[in-house]
Structures are given as structure tokens and as C-alpha cells.
Structure 1
Amino acid sequence: MKESKVMVIGLDGATFDLIDPFIQAGELPNLERLISEGSRAPLRSTTPSATFPAWTSFATGVNPGKHGIFDFTKMKPRSYRIEFLNSSHRKYPAFWEVLSKLGKRVCVVALPGTYPPEEVNGIMISGFDSPVATGIDASFVYPKELFRELNSKFGRFPFADFQELVIEQGWHDLAFERLLSGLKRKKDIALHIFKKEKWDLFLILFGEADTVSHHFWCAFDEASPRFVPELASKHREAIRKIYRELDSTIGELVDEAGEEYHVLLASDHGFGGAGDKIFYINRWLEKEGFLAFRKTGGAFSRNIDSLKRTGMRFVPPKAQEWLLRSPLKHLAANLEAKSRFGMIDWEKTKAFSEELNYAPSIRINSEGERPQGVVKESKYVDLAREIVQRLNELEDPFTAKKIVKRVHLREELYSGPFVPEAPDLILELELDNGYSYSCLKTSPSENPSPLRKMERWEYIGAKGRSMNGSHRPEGIFILKGEGVKSGSRLEEAEIIDITPTLYYLFNIEIFKDMDGSVLISAFEEEYRDRNRVKHAETTGGFGFKVRERPYSGKEAREVEERLRALGYLE
């Protein structure tokens, strides 16, 4: 088999629901060319379709139960505390590790879940989960010597984050300018690095489609119940313009790669509009008798949120570093845990939710698993079934339609040694006339109903409120190159299929415990006959060591601020 070279372009949040009509309007000529000359498929994300587990499954070919990343954070065993996760917590090798060990030259730029950067056989620049809030040191770059070169030539690396606490008048003007300038700078950096040598694998991630869709959907979609005409008058074309810029960037990268490279495009999930209804899971659990709030819970939670958002902002950086050394180094994670759970009366609670908007789920307060757990092992299954049954019966009082599409037991969704770290129940919500429900944090002293409609001032989505665009399960897959069918449409593909497909292109054996499969129907029959899929007798863990390197206290706080600014923490 001929030695392959592959260029992978990640488009966080990209969806054919936008790409196809933009192509029909003649606005995305490069994507149109790639699709006509290659194969495409809707790419099913993880459940839930959350950034960290999705990109980690993309990079490993296995489900979260095997790689151990279910979210940006995880709940610590036998506690109500949380821990911020990074690449060192991944328990299964990513394709860049395997390729590096086989002597391939690899370059990975800006992919979420790659901090701290790994010592690959090449270059790695971490994604937005890097705690380097201003990009002023080399900790997110490997090798570190590359940082000075890039910083002097291009300036601060564009993480495409927005640190404003409140979305006020003029915010969208600034955000859109930053998206455009950051995209251009990242493209220039990518082209600069790509031209350094003939990489065997080159990967670059662009997050702009995700960010613009989160914040500008209410200006783009006139049918949205959260459409804001005042914003649309100025920014109706924002999403369309970002897709056009991405298309132009893709064209430059693909032209630079030439015919020598296979080109693979993928997104971690798709996108759609968020509706005007909020579902408070913990309020619903309280109404159903599964959860109890402390009498002072509302004030306590608000005080913690205030401390998290403002408490450290006026402390000088040097003093911050001192404050966040041991034994205070876990301050950020502890504050986040207090914000999520500080209002709950554990001794009277059987089940609770972290109330993550992008990953609605429920955990059982089990004896032995939690310090104040009240649910005995013998009662666990009955309780889980009861919660599932009541969720399945839950109706939207405004429409009399179901709110919950399906409730998964974690053992149904995931397999592998890390399944016990997942929430006990994972919720898939119905769309409300095509728009998603928002799941926000319950305030015990407010919002007496589990479901309410937003006020108009909430439509844009200030901090503590849902963003006006939200994730959908179907992302994109496009592949072009030697042996790939032209103009082919695959019926289905999953994000766990990307790594096996890359291994196939590199003539590498597929680990026997890998969940994904080679997307073999994307290739011509003659190519498949010459290049058979190879399966290894070893598992993915063979020869690879897991070395966890938790965030320091300062890093954890900076990561929390970035995730909150991006809307992943409410």
C-alpha cells in the first residue's frame, strides 16, 4: 500500500444544515469541490454531543467508557467535589500517539483536549482548554522553542474566547471582529507550520463555526422563538460570513496540500437554534420527591457564584499564584462544586443533576459512592427505573408534548472500565418545534416551576442563561483523495469511526477493542481490494502508559474562566 499523507481539518460545530444551503447559494466553492470530488456523511457525535468527549472519541476511536473523558470535569469518587480534566486524563491512545510511535511526523493544532501538549514526533499546540489565558508563555506548545517563533511572527495565539462577563450592547460587534481576526491568524499559523516540512499527518481545528452559531443564531434565524430583530439588523449575515471565511481558509490549506494528501474534514457535532423554554432538572427532581434543597440554599449558591466570578479579579497575579498553591490549589474546582451542589440537602436527596446545559443528566446519591449517599445498592435499580418512567411521562405544559426523547442508563450508552464515572442517567431531550430546550441551574428561591418560558431580555443569552444556538448530534464528515469515491453519500458514520479510517489510510492495524469501524464504503472497490483492513491482536492500551497531570490551582481557575466565557459552565 502506498504511504499516505493526511490533512485533517476540524470544524467545531459545523453542520450540513448550513453548509448545504450555503453551497446551493454558491457561497462555499471549496467545500462544494471537496464534496463533489469525495465522500460525505452526517457524523453522529457522542451522547451527549459535548465538545470534550466528542473530540476525544474522534481522536481515539473509542467511546467515553474506554477513554475516560465524559466532560470537561468529573466528579471525584466518594465525594461531591469535581476535578477539571485535561489530556493527561485520557486513558486510551490518540492517533497522534500511535503515529508518533511508528515514526510518522505529526502536527496537531488547536484541538480541544490536548493540554498539556504531548511530546509527539512533531508539533502540538493545545486547544482552548489550555489555561494560558493570554498566550504569554510556552506551556501550550510542543516543542516549547516553537512558541517564540510563532509569537514573534503572529502575536498571541487566537484561542477565540471572549472573557466578558455580561453580553452588553456592542459585545457582538467585538466578538465578530475577534472571530474574523482570530480565524485569519490561525490560518496564517497553520500555513506557516505546514510549509515547514512534509507532514505525514497535519491537523488543524477551527472553532469559529461553533462560537458564531452559539451567539448569533438569534440574528440569523427569523423562525427562532428567540429571534432578535435589533441584532439581526446588523449581524444577520454573521454566521454566513464565518462559513465563507472558513471555506476560503479550507481552500488555501487544501491547495497547499495538493494531490499528495488525503483531506478529511470533520466536526464534533452539528448545530441548531435554542428555544425559549428552560427546564430545571433539579427543580423537577424536587417536585417528584427525589431531591431536597437546603433552606438557605438560594442565597448560598448566589454568594458562591459571585465569589467565583469576581472574587479573584482584583487580586494581583503574583498574589493569586501564592493563594492557589497547596493547600488552596483546588479552590477553583471546589468553588464550581459548591456552585452546582451547595444548595442541596444531601441527607434528603436520592438523585441530583449537575444541570449542564450541553449534557443533561442525573446522578443517584448512592451509599458508598457519595459521602452522604442515601440510596442502598438494593434500591438502585428500582429508583433508576422510577425516574426513567416519570421522565418519559413528563409533558411540556405549553404544548402537551413530551420533553424527554429518551433516558439512557449509562451502561446502555457506554462500555469499558470507566463507565462508573459517567452520570447514572443521560437525558436526550426532544426538540420543541425544531428548537432545543435549555437546562439551567435551579435557584431554590426562584423559578418554582420545572419549566418556564424566557423573558424577551433573555433571548440573546447573557451569562447564567443559555446561548441562543445549541448543539445537535449530527456533525459532518468529508473525505477526498486517492481511492475515495467521488460524489458519494454515506448513509451514516460515527465520530468513533474517524480514527480507524485514519489508521486504514496509514495501513495501520485496528486495535481489537476499538469501537469505531473503517468507513470503507467511502472508498472505491478497486482501492479496497488493494488495501485490506487490518486488525490487531492487541488492545489500544498495549504499550501505552497513562500519566495524569492534573491542572494546578491557577490553571484550573483559568480553565474555568475560559469554559464559563464560552458558555460551557453556567
Structure 2
Amino acid sequence: MRWWSWQRCRTAADGIERTKEAPLQKSPVIVIGLDAFDPCTALGFAEDGQLPNIARLLENGARARVCNPFGLYVGAAWANFTTCLRPDRHGFHCWNRIEIETYRHRLSPPRFDGFPTFWKTVADSGRRVAIVDVPHARLEPGLNGVQVVEWGCHDRHWGLCSWPPGKAKEIVATIGTHPVLGIPAITHEDFAPDDYVHRAGALRTAQEEGKLLDGLIEGAAAKARLLSDLLADEEWDLVVGIFGEAHAGGHQLWHLHDHAHPRFDASVAERLGGDPILTLYRAVDAGVGEVVAKAGPDALICLLMSHGMGPHHDGVHMLDELLSRLDSHHFGSEGRRSVSASAPLRAAIPGLRRLASRLGVPLSIRERVGRLLDERTFSTARARQHYFLEPNNYVYGGIRLNLVGREPDGCVAPEDFDRVCAQLEEDLLELVNLDTGRPAVRAVIRSDTRHRRSPRDVMPDLFVDWNREAPIERVSSPKIGILHSPYDGWRTGDHRDDGLLIVHGRGFAAGSEYPDIDMEDIGASIAARFDVALGDIDGRPADWLARNHEKDPAACMSSAIPERRNPAQAL
């Protein structure tokens, strides 16, 4: 147990305010992040006794549902956590976007320019911090502590680096590189390594799936060792370490966990030793236990399951063609806005992509050809259309209107914005999944009802909430006819929105359930435990997490909790 004494001080320049007149009893805060570790699946495994360490934290700690930014959470969840901002402020929701000026696809690593991470502000207050593999986080030289970037992340942008600079080399020398998530990029650093490691063809063989699973299990054990070694180095004030293995395994191996998945194969699952998701979750659970044990009894443990995972059933792979057909139906008589001469090539591209994959054309060549086609074909079509697909990962489709005064070749007048959005909603809700006879789309939601917008942001204007109960490969409606576009990807799992935070330590009564917490509120709450205010952020400290209730745990439950907010109402 450590005691800290701080003099009264105020630092206006960096937005930090601290006031302390008496010694403060303080425990280290250890945040163990489980990236895309599905809470519902994990709770079921824990109840069955399969995850003993997580079950122990659940039994002896408190919990709260984590709410992620609607529609954008696949890319923005960890960005919200890092900056304590919402997507309209930090500006990142997808690794890929349409460049407004040219209508071309551009890789889009997060910048967060001018927005410090919450741990940097905590470190600037004099606390010692250790940060490992927070997805989408950039290196912060000069940090009061240690930071390791992308040793083992599903999401990558920068490559392995560290502060101090020699720390990364030390880790590689003692622990090695991550056997899956540390594999060098084939084309772009932004491409998730689990998409191409141990995959020679369009889909993995059973042997390749076994190699991938073994590598992820080995990686989870190595991550636990890395974090444990850091915890042994010194008495940190704040440690944040993220396990990325469940994210990678969920995308690649979900079909061998979900018995209802079209690609489920019991014989392959048996060759892998049973349910590979259970096997992988057990490995991560063992890593959690090792880190908790090394943290010691005085630590406050925050186990964060950022968001979930489920079957990869959506229609994003056909959304581009859907929008082209709808645009032609409604606006085909408007001359240059009609479907371009390149439409036949656009329609043929998915089949050509599948053929190239089956023929074993290297991914690097396919990627270069794809960029060339995008620049010469799709960008021209986007400039002609009244709306086009805005990359938003895959769970929620994204649609951007070609708006006069915002896009350079805009054709939707601002006064027609509402009408066009309403028409698109009607059109998409008419789509029928021919393989189930049920609607292909559950809802179409305007982003300005959920997020603050600005003229220069790159958000979609509309979110398409697919009916994800079954694969979507054949759809029809009176306006688009029949569209058959088989999903040709190798990912069989994709994200679900809600996360879970488990808190174990003094002042948190066993089994307590607390109000929902937004992802951007978590860092603000942790900083508040150190009496550090973060300045101009969107997140607000949740009283139950920010305050120390060691003497009266029940007081935490009765503390005032702000009502959940809809940020669009601020407009």
C-alpha cells in the first residue's frame, strides 16, 4: 500500500487541475482490456466453469454494461476510450474512407491531433503509467512511463514501436514477436494480420485454422508474460494492457463455434480440439489470471470487454451495387447522373475478385489492382451518383449523400437532403432476403440523430442496420430487381455493440451492478481517481467508478449518475 501527498496546485496550461491538502490512500489501477471478447459468450463460458479467473472477478467484483458509439463503434470504440471524446471530435471511425476531394478510397489512420490521451494527462500529473497495445493509439514520446504500440494488435497503423525507444527491442529479445499479430504487413500496415497469416487460398484449410489458433493461444500467453514483466519492473500508478487475440480469433474462427453458421464443420472443430473460441477464451482467461496475480491484492482491477462478436451476416458487400441501382432508378434520366459506362465492369468486379483469390493471385497484386480500379472506376461513379457507400467497416452499412456545397461534385441540394434520406430508407426497407423471405434491412438511421455533425466530417449520413439473422447474398425489390452477390470473404465473425466492465477492488461490493457507462467515460473516471481533470473532453467521470468508496460501498450505488445522453441533442 502506498501513500501519496500532494500540495495544492493548479496547472491551467495543460488543462489539469489537482487539489489535495492531505495524504491520499491510493491503489494502482490496472486496466486489462479484452478486445472484442464477446461478453455474452464469455458470461456463458464463465457460468459453465470454463473461465475460472474471469468468473472469480465476476463473483467478487462489480459490473456495468459498456455503451459504444452507435453505428461507428467497430472503429471508434477504442478511439473513444483513448481520447475520452466522441467520434465527431476525434474524427476516426474506420481505417478506410472516401476522400471528399477526390471520391477515392484512402487509408485513414487515426490522428487525434491536439487531443491528448487520458493516460498522457495522468502521466503529466506525476503518475507513472505503463500502456501496452491499446488499439489505434499512437506512440507518445516523453511519456512518464512506458508505452508499447502494436506488439500484438488486431488493428495496426504504425508498426511496433515503444517509449523508451529501446523497450520494443528488449521485449522482442526476451519474449519475441507475437506469432500472429506481430507478423509484418504484406501490403499495408493497416491490414489486420490475422486476415492473411496461415491462409494460402480464399479460405483456410483445417490445418491452417489449427495453426492460426495455436498462434493466437501462444500470443495470449506471451502478452500475459509481457504485462507481468512490466508489473514486476516497478510500482506503477496506472497500467493499461490489451489482449487482441479474441478479436482476431472471433473474425476468423467464429464458424467453428456457431453451430448454425453455414460453414460450421463439426469434424474440423474436433480436429482443433473442440470449440476454438472456447479454447482461445480459456487462453485469454489464463492470461488475465496471471496479470491479476502479479498486480497484487491492493490493485483496482478493471477488466474491460470492449465490444462483442457474432456471425458475419450483413449486406455491405453488395451495398455499392444496391446504391448504384437505386440511383439509376430514381435519377437515371438526369443525363450525366445516370449510370456510367463503367457499370458493367463494376458489376463484374466481385466475381473477378473471387476468381483471382481461387487462382492464388498474391494479395499484394490484388490490392494494387483494386486501388487502380477504384481510382479509375468507382471514384468516377461516386462523383456521378447522388449517394454512395461510405466505408464503415461491416456491421452497419454507411451511406454518404453527394451533397452540394460539401462534396466537390455534389448533386443533392441541401433542401432535398431530408427527402432523399427518407426515400433511401423506404427503398432499403423494401429489400427482401430471398433465402429467408424476410427483410434484409432492419432499420435505416440518420447519423445526425445519434452524432453531432460538421460540414467537414467523414461520417456516413445514413446507417444501414442489416437483419443479421442469416447470410445476405440474394436480395430483391421492385426497384432494384434481383441482386445476387455471394459473400466472398474469409471472416465469419463480426462485431456486436455492447461491452462489459468488471471492477474488482476495495469499495466495490461483490455482485454489484452499476449504471451503464459510455466508452469515453472510462478514462475520465480513471483520471478522476487520481484527482486529474482532463479538460475539454466529452467523457464525464462516472461517480461510481471515479470515487473511492472504501468505507461505504453502498454509497456508490446511491451516488447521482447523469442520465445517458444523445450527443446529437447538443446541436
Q: If the TM-score is normalised by the length of the shorter chain, which range does it land in?
A: 0.7 to 0.9
> 1:243 is matched by which residue type in structure 2?
Y
> 1:194 is matched by which residue type in structure 2?
L
Task: Report the more deviating stretch, 232-241 or 193-202.
Answer: 232-241
Alignment of 1:89-128 (within 5 A): 89-90=112-113, 92-127=115-150, 128=153
CA distance in 1, matches of 2:535, 2:554: 19
CA distance in 2, matches of 1:51, 1:108: 21
Structure 1 residues 522 and 89: CA distance shift in structure 2, 3 A: closer
> 2:492 is matched by which residue type in structure 1?
N
Q: Is contact 2:517-2:542 (8 Å) kept?
A: no
Aligned to 2:388: 352
- Which residue among 327, 331, 345 is the counterpart of 1:297? 345
Q: Secondary structure at the match of 1:125?
A: strand
Q: Is contact 2:314-2:395 (8 Å) kept?
A: no
CA distance in 1, matches of 2:100, 2:364: 28
Aligned to 1:281: 319
Q: Is contact 2:103-2:382 (8 Å) kept?
A: no
CA distance in 1, matches of 2:211, 2:363: 26
CA distance in 1, matches of 2:368, 2:378: 14
Alignment of 1:525-564 (within 5 A): 526=552
CA distance in 2, matches of 1:526, 1:438: 56
> 1:505 is matched by which residue type in structure 2?
R
Alignment of 1:471-550 (within 5 A): 471-490=495-514, 492-509=516-533, 511=535, 513-518=537-542, 520=544, 526=552
Q: Secondary structure at the match of 1:492?
A: strand
CA distance in 1, matches of 2:482, 2:268: 30
Which runs of 5 or more structure 2 residues have no equivalent in the other structure? 1-23, 182-192, 329-337, 563-571
Aligned to 1:545: none
CA distance in 1, matches of 2:113, 2:530: 23
Task: Report the more deviating stretch, 121-130 or 504-513.
Answer: 504-513
> 1:367 is matched by which residue type in structure 2?
V
Which runs of 5 or more structure 1 residues have no equivalent in the other structure? 315-330, 441-446, 459-463, 536-570
Q: Deviations over 1:459-503 (max 9, x none)?
A: xxxxx5152111111122111112112111235333223122212
Alignment of 1:264-343 (within 5 A): 264-275=302-313, 280-289=318-327, 292=339, 294-298=342-346, 301=349, 310=362, 335=371, 338=374, 342=378
| 2:237 is equivalent to residue 200 of structure 1 | yes
Task: Report the more deviating stretch, 355-364 or 469-478.
Answer: 355-364
CA distance in 1, matches of 2:99, 2:143: 30
Structure 1 residues 340 and 382: CA distance shift in structure 2, 3 A: farther
Q: Secondary structure at the match of 1:194?
A: helix
Q: Is contact 1:100-1:120 (8 Å) kept?
A: yes
Q: Secondary structure at the match of 2:552?
A: helix
Task: Report the more deviating stretch, 511-520 or 487-496.
Answer: 511-520
Q: Deviations over 1:31-85 (max 9, x none)?
A: 1111111111232222235443110112222210111111113333322134433
> 2:424 is matched by which residue type in structure 1?
I
Structure 1 residues 486 and 385: CA distance shift in structure 2, 3 A: same
> 1:17 is matched by which residue type in structure 2?
C
Alignment of 1:304-453 (within 5 A): 310=362, 335=371, 338=374, 342=378, 345-346=381-382, 348-354=384-390, 356-415=393-452, 420-432=457-469, 449-450=482-483
> 2:346 is matched by which residue type in structure 1?
G
Q: Is contact 2:39-2:307 (8 Å) kept?
A: no
Q: Is contact 1:11-1:266 (8 Å) kept?
A: yes
CA distance in 2, matches of 1:533, 1:333: 56
Q: Deviations over 1:281-335 (max 9, x none)?
A: 122223323583524533895789979x848579xxxxxxxxxxxxxxxx97992
Q: Deviations over 1:380-402 (max 9, x none)?
A: 23212211232234333344433
Task: Report the more deviating stretch, 6-15 or 493-502.
Answer: 493-502
CA distance in 2, matches of 1:17, 1:529: 29
Q: What is the CA distance between 1:116 and its match in structure 2?
A: 4.2
Q: Deviations over 1:196-224 (max 9, x none)?
A: 11111111111111222222221122233
Q: Secondary structure at the match of 2:463?
A: strand
> 1:352 is matched by which residue type in structure 2?
F
CA distance in 1, matches of 2:240, 2:69: 21
Aligned to 2:172: 151
Q: Is contact 2:321-2:347 (8 Å) kept?
A: no
Structure 1 residues 91 and 360: CA distance shift in structure 2, 3 A: farther
Structure 1 residues 341 and 200: CA distance shift in structure 2, 3 A: farther
Aligned to 1:56: 79
- Which residue among 258, 274, 282 is the counterpart of 1:244? 282
Q: Is contact 1:36-1:487 (8 Å) kept?
A: yes
CA distance in 1, matches of 2:375, 2:221: 37
| 2:247 is equivalent to residue 210 of structure 1 | yes
Q: Deviations over 1:490-520 (max 9, x none)?
A: 3533322312221232233364642445162
| 2:166 is equivalent to residue 142 of structure 1 | no
Q: Secondary structure at the match of 1:88?
A: coil
Structure 1 residues 132 and 68: CA distance shift in structure 2, 3 A: closer
Q: Secondary structure at the match of 1:2?
A: strand
TM-score of the two chains, using structure 2 as the length reference: 0.77
Higher relative CO (Cα under 8 Å, sequence separation at least 6) belongs to 1
CA distance in 2, matches of 1:220, 1:11: 19
CA distance in 2, matches of 1:219, 1:171: 13
> 2:443 is matched by which residue type in structure 1?
R
Q: Is contact 2:141-2:164 (8 Å) kept?
A: no
| TM-align CA RMSD | 3.7
Task: Report the more deviating stretch, 259-268 or 413-422.
Answer: 413-422
Q: Secondary structure at the match of 1:391?
A: helix
Structure 1 residues 527 and 49: CA distance shift in structure 2, 3 A: same
| 2:78 is equivalent to residue 41 of structure 1 | no
Q: Secondary structure at the match of 1:58?
A: helix
> 1:246 is matched by which residue type in structure 2?
V
Q: What is the CA distance between 1:177 and its match in structure 2?
A: 1.4
Q: What is the CA distance between 1:114 and its match in structure 2?
A: 1.7
CA distance in 1, matches of 2:373, 2:304: 33
Structure 1 residues 240 and 346: CA distance shift in structure 2, 3 A: closer
Aligned to 1:66: 89
> 1:360 is matched by which residue type in structure 2?
G
> 1:364 is matched by which residue type in structure 2?
L
Q: Is contact 1:86-1:115 (8 Å) kept?
A: no
Between structure 1 and structure 2, the one with the greater Rg is 2
Aligned to 1:325: none
Aligned to 1:168: 204
Q: Secondary structure at the match of 1:246?
A: helix
- What is the number of residues matched between the two proteins? 497
The percent identity for this pair of structures is 22
> 1:34 is matched by which residue type in structure 2?
L
> 1:257 is matched by which residue type in structure 2?
A
| 2:109 is equivalent to residue 86 of structure 1 | yes
Q: Is contact 2:60-2:509 (8 Å) kept?
A: yes
CA distance in 1, matches of 2:422, 2:305: 34
Structure 1 residues 423 and 485: CA distance shift in structure 2, 3 A: same
CA distance in 2, matches of 1:277, 1:64: 24
Q: Secondary structure at the match of 1:490?
A: strand
Q: Secondary structure at the match of 2:400?
A: strand
CA distance in 2, matches of 1:393, 1:208: 39
Q: Secondary structure at the match of 2:445?
A: strand
